[in-house]
Structure 1
Amino acid sequence: MLHLIFYIFDMNSLAAMLEEIGIPGIWTGWLSLVLMLLPAVISFNYAMRRLGRQWKNIQRLVYPALIIALVHWILLDWVWQPAMVHLAPLILAWILRYIGRSRRQRTQRSMT
């Protein structure tokens, strides 16, 4: 959302923003934002209880949103290194989560 705020201030008018919407580097950013907004909007306990199993499926929209955000960044700058620097903490968190999950599964299998 902070990136969007800077974009709005940089463009300084809705007309200028709409003029750019057809540029692939721009519409990929908007698409990524929309895909991230839905999981963000339902990220609270009541929504989790109300949606049941569907809640997790909606939360998984962040994965394609991440890929589209990376495409957005690359299309705008044609440089992948800054995008990877910003994505590195998320990728590291996913790797650690995967390792933790694998260890728990191995522990559960060895106990049975």
Structure 2
Amino acid sequence: MAVTPLSLMFPGRSWVRWLLRRRRYLGVAAFGYAALHTVVYLFRKGSFGLILAEGAEPGLFAGWIALAILVPLAITSNAAAVRRLRRLWKRLHRWVYAAAILTFVHWVIEAYDPVPGLIHLAVLAALEGFRLWKTNRGRKRRPT
């Protein structure tokens, strides 16, 4: 999610081009981390009953929903899916923003110290705010 704003902030830089070429891999790696995080959680709980009992807690529920959103994004992160889904692919992958918000909700509620999660959220929000400002600044406003 940070690659596009960085490419707008630092156009033409070699490290930005490197990130842009590997954007898909970064997204799949984020899903891989979420999946591994979930597997470790499931093993540590050891009981399906405990998992179900905790599943309704707001922080964990946000994490489960974020993971559910990331699954179809990871499955469709390949060239064949882009060709097959066409315009729907972009619409589907915009769900990453909802997943990111839910991930930060999960992180802040469940963490022993919520400050790192809030710092990450602030940086990502600033980058996204810059992207929105940069892409909308040249557009004409419609009369109201």
Letter in 1 for 2:86: G
In structure 1, distance between residues paired with 2:104 and 2:44: 21
1:16 aligns with 2:50: yes
Task: Name the Cα RMSD after superposition.
Answer: 2.7
The aligned length equals 100
Aligned to 1:55: 89
- For structure 1, which runs of at least 5 residues remain unmatched after alignment? 107-112
Match in the other structure for 1:5: 39
**Partner residue in 2 for 1:46:** 80
Structure 2 residues not aligned, in runs of 5+: 1-34, 139-144
Normalised by the length of structure 2, the TM-score is 0.58
Q: With CA pairs under 8 Å and 6+ residues apart, which has the higher RCO, 1 or 2?
A: 2
> 1:53 is matched by which residue type in structure 2?
R
Match of 1:64 in 2: 98
Q: TM-score, normalised by structure 1?
A: 0.73
List, as ranges, runs of 4+ consecutive aligned residues in structure 1 with deviation greater than 6 Å.
none
